[in-house]
Amino acid sequence: MDSSTMIIYVISDSIGETGELIAKSSVKQFESYNYEIKRYPYHNSIEQIEPILEEASKNKKSLIVYTNVVQKTRDFIEEKAKALNLHTVDVMGGPMDQLEDILGYPPLREPGLIRRLDDNYFKKVEAIEFAVKYDDGKDPRGAKKADICLVGISRTSKTPLSMYLANKLYKVANIPLVPEVPVPSEVYEKDVKRVIGLTCNPEKLISIREERLKSLGLSGSAKYANIERIKEELRYSQQIMDELGCIVIDVSTKAIEETAEIIIDYMENMEKNF
């Protein structure tokens, strides 16, 4: 290797992305200077890290960038680096010290917390994509795959509930109940504990459906917002829900968040008991 090449050793108790990004961003400020980054993920013991520091000490142009949070490891890196006359960048130290001063209590010092947050982020994206794919009965096969299957007539908050619950990491499919359309067999084959019926009083549904028609530039006198039609749909949906034996939630006076919390509580209790 060319002796003029800067070697940056990125040591991390997680995957090391943050340290590598900071190293690259910093060295890029020095135009076309030759550099190499060596990343050492999941290195948190003295036995793992000591040989890296020994190797770095053999090159005059070495920099140690570390993102470790366990205090014993951090102390070792600083003491050993000082003994070997190595330059170090403690990525996490400064921000954690300042936050401790402001908040008045020490950090958790648990490696990989940001990665756990990232995992939740990807699970959330997956759940949202699932909700979109299996919205409004587009593909009834989703009922079988879903953590939760919502059933109800039009405008009983199935779609917004699906999206809200997706943000809580639940994969949700929703199936509209329409008297003229047979209920997909997948709904009957679903574990009934994971099927949730939604209902609403006729007066509330009329106002919601009339507003929906207005937003589409259609007449409020359409069958969709007719009181007798709505009552027929509600009777039909109640019949289906009785056949399924699922729990039923009346959403007439509830915000999406309230209904979602009822469903989440129900799911958590159900999963504890089974």
Question: How far is residue 257 from each of residues 83, 116, 170, measured CA to CA in Å?
Answer: 58, 25, 14
123 is in an annotated binding site: no
pLDDT tens sequence across 238-259: 999 999 999 999 999 999 999 9
User: Do residues 56 and 64 lie in contact, with contact meaning Cβ atoms separated by under 8 Å?
Assistant: yes
Segment among 55-59, 94-98, 122-126 with least mean pLDDT: 122-126
Strands 35-40 and 87-90: unpaired
- Calculate the CA 235 to chain-centre distance: 37
d(CA 8, CA 41): 14
Span(s) in the chain for CATH 3.40.50.2300: 6-111
What is the pLDDT at residue 113? 80
d(CA 264, CA 262): 6
Question: Which 3-state string (H, E, C) describes 231-266?
Answer: HHHHHHHHHHHHHHCCEEEECCCCCHHHHHHHHHHH
Question: How far is residue 19 from each of residues 9, 50, 91, 221, 249, measured CA to CA in Å?
Answer: 9, 18, 7, 63, 49
- 6-111: what CATH class? alpha beta
Give the predicted TM-score (pTM) of the model: 0.62
32 is in an annotated binding site: no
157 is in an annotated binding site: yes
Fold of the domain built from segment(s) 119-273: Rossmann fold (3.40.50)
Local confidence band at 23 (pLDDT 50, 70, 90 cut-offs): very high
16 is in an annotated binding site: no
154 is in an annotated binding site: yes
156 is in an annotated binding site: yes
pLDDT tens sequence across 201-224: 999 999 999 888 888 887 766 788
